[in-house]
Amino acid sequence: MLKVVNNSQLATGELTESLFRNLIALEQCYHARWNEITSYVVLMDTLIVSSKDMRVLCNAGVIANLLNAEDGTKFFNNLYNGTWLETFYYGELCDKVDKYYDEEWNVWWELMKRGKFSSPWKIISLILAIILLGLTLWQTVYNIHDHI
C-alpha cells in the first residue's frame, strides 16, 4: 500500500509496486495523459542508481523503505519500464540541479563541508592551522624586514 509518513516521507513496501504500476497504467490509458506519477517515478529512478543512493534518501527522510536497500533500488529502477512519458514535470528541477552542480564553487564548497567541516574538531584545527600559517608568514616578513 502507498503510505505517506510524516507528510513528506514515502513508505515503500511489497504492495507498493502494484499500486504504482496501476497508477502508471491509468495515466497511460487516460486520454489527457497527466504523467505526474510516471514523472515522479522517472525522477526517483534518476536519483536512485545504487543501494547507496537509496540509503542516502532513507537517512534524509525522503523515503521510508520497508524493503532492503537493494530491493528498494530495484523497485524504482524497474517500475516504469515500457511506458511512454509525454511530459516530464521535473525537467526544470533537474536542469537547475545540473546547473548548480556544474558550478565548480558549489562542488568545492560541498566537498569542504563534508571533509573539512564535518566535525567541530576539524573546524577548530583548520582555524588554528590558518592562524599558525598567518603567524609564520608574519614572522618571516618581520625577520626579512629586520635584516634589511
Q: Please state the pTM of the whole predicted model.
A: 0.67
pLDDT band for position 8 (50/70/90)?
Answer: low
Side-chain-facing half-sphere of 15: CA atoms under 13 Å = 3
Q: How far apart are CA 97 and CA 27, in angstroms?
A: 27
The pLDDT of 96-122, averaged and rounded, is 87
Average pLDDT score over residue span 129-144: 95
pLDDT band, residue 139 (cuts 50/70/90):
very high
Query: Domain ranges in the chain?
Result: 1-90, 103-148
pLDDT for residue 7? 57
**pLDDT per residue as tens digits for the range 54-92:** 999 999 888 988 888 898 898 888 888 888 888 889 999
Which residues are registered as beta bridge partners of 12? Answer: 65
Q: Bigger pLDDT: 77 or 132? A: 132
Stretch among 1-10, 117-126, 139-148 having the lowest mean pLDDT: 1-10
